[in-house]
Amino acid sequence: MTAKWDEIDQWAQQWIREAGERIRASFAEKLTIETKANANDLVTNVDRGIEQFFAAQIRRRFPDHHLLGEEGFGDPLEALDGIVWIIDPIDGTMNFVHQQRHFAVSIGVFADGVGQLGYVYDVVADELYWARKGQGVWLNGAPLSRLRPVPIAESVIAVNATWLMENRRLDHRPLVRLAKEARGTRSYGSAALELAYVAAGRLDAYLSPRLSPWDFAGGMILIEEAGGVVTNLNGAPLDLLGPNSVLAAKPGVHEEILRRYLSR
Ligand code: 2AM
Ligand code: CA
Ligand code: CA
Ligand code: CA
């Protein structure tokens, strides 16, 4: 078992580094930008090309593995049996297009639905956050510390400003109170990076009312391996086959947000 996961981990890291090189090289070329669900929901030729790159590598090296990817080059999955790679080729496409930074490649590898390997690669900073179930979480070559509880009053919490305004997905008023009572709020525009920052202790919590499995698969594995907690906004486990709300935080912070701000 160990040898098998060593091999998967080595290939995953090699492909992620190669994907990073391709993405950085793309800065010199002209982007093709299209919209998806709405005018602000962007996708580029690079998002698609990078997902196709992972799909081709995984199918060649591990033909019995399955792939779920944002851009549709994976397999139509109805269950999580066997080994499943959940991939977001570029998380934070708007940042990629507008800023050429603050975006990430995100990958989670699951065995029968249990997270085994997690990766979030900040392409421009050249920072790879990665975790292996039961063995720890690292930033490039350095191990990350185990997450410890802190009070909300000393917490820095990541939340998109959209969710602090009146919106159709959730009651924003408890979140406004949370934002006021926290030490500070941040919004980076890449769910995968925000989850990696929680795993690294740079953020104390991150929340969103709607993410897809490829947004959180890699980051969720990082946080759980670091001793943090990831659930939906009701405190229930995440479903890897559909959209979810997400609350990811240090252990005590997670409990306090659920109890004081989210329970009705
Ligand atoms: P993406 O860049 O891969 O699309 C901020 O927009 C964060 O929310 C990003 O991680 C983004 O992932 C994610 N997200 C999820 N659903 C989205 C949508 N419909 N439109 C834009 N971003 C979305
Ligand atoms: Ca997208
Ligand atoms: Ca995403
Ligand atoms: Ca994406």
Residues 116-156 have pLDDT tens digits of 999 999 999 999 999 999 999 999 999 999 999 999 999 99
* Domains of the chain in sequence order: 2-143 (3.30.540.10), 152-262 (3.40.190.80)
CB atoms within 10 A of CB 190: 26
pLDDT recorded at residue 263? 84
Cβ–Cβ under 8 Å, residues 141 and 134: no
246 backbone φψ class: left, alpha, beta (φ>0; ψ -120 to 50): beta
Cα–Cα distances in Å, from 150 out to 69, 157, 187, 204, 231?
35, 12, 20, 8, 18
**Which ligand 1 atom sits closest to the C-alpha of 192?**
10
Ligand 4 centre distance from Cα of residue 70 (Å):
6
Note the helical H segments in the chain.
2-26, 45-61, 93-99, 173-181, 191-199, 213-226, 251-257
- Average pLDDT of the residues of the chain: 97
Provide the edge-to-edge strand list for the sheet that holds 244-249: 184-186, 156-158, 205-211, 244-249, 229-231
Q: How far apart, in whole angstroms, are the C-alpha atoms of residue 159 and residue 258?
A: 15
Residue 4 CA to ligand 1 centre (angstroms): 33
pLDDT of residue 2: 83
Strand locations in 33-163 (E): 33-35, 42-44, 66-69, 83-91, 104-111, 114-122, 127-132, 136-139, 142-143, 156-158
* Separation CA 201–CA 121 (nearest Å): 16
Q: Does residue 111 surpass a pLDDT of 80?
A: yes
Which mutation among 47, 87, 91, 96 tests ligand 1's pocket best, with the greatest number of atoms within 8 A of CB?
91
Residue 91 CA to ligand 1 center (angstroms) comes to 7
Going from the Cα of 243 to the center of ligand 3, the distance in angstroms, rounded, reads: 12
Indicate which ligand has the atom closest to the C-alpha of 69.
4
Give the per-residue pLDDT at 1. Answer: 73
Compute, in angstroms, the gap from residue 232 CA to the centroid of ligand 3. 17
Task: Tell me which residues have their CB closer than 6 angstroms to ligand 1.
Answer: 37, 41, 70, 88, 91-93, 189-191, 211-212, 215
pLDDT, one tens digit per residue, over 199-233 is 999 999 999 999 999 999 999 999 999 999 999 99
User: What does the longest C-alpha to C-alpha distance in the chain come to?
Assistant: 51
Residue 42: is its pLDDT beyond 90?
A: yes
The best mutation among 190, 195, 206, 210 to test binding of ligand 1, ranked by most ligand atoms within 8 Å of the C-beta, falls on 190
**Range 22-51 average pLDDT:** 97
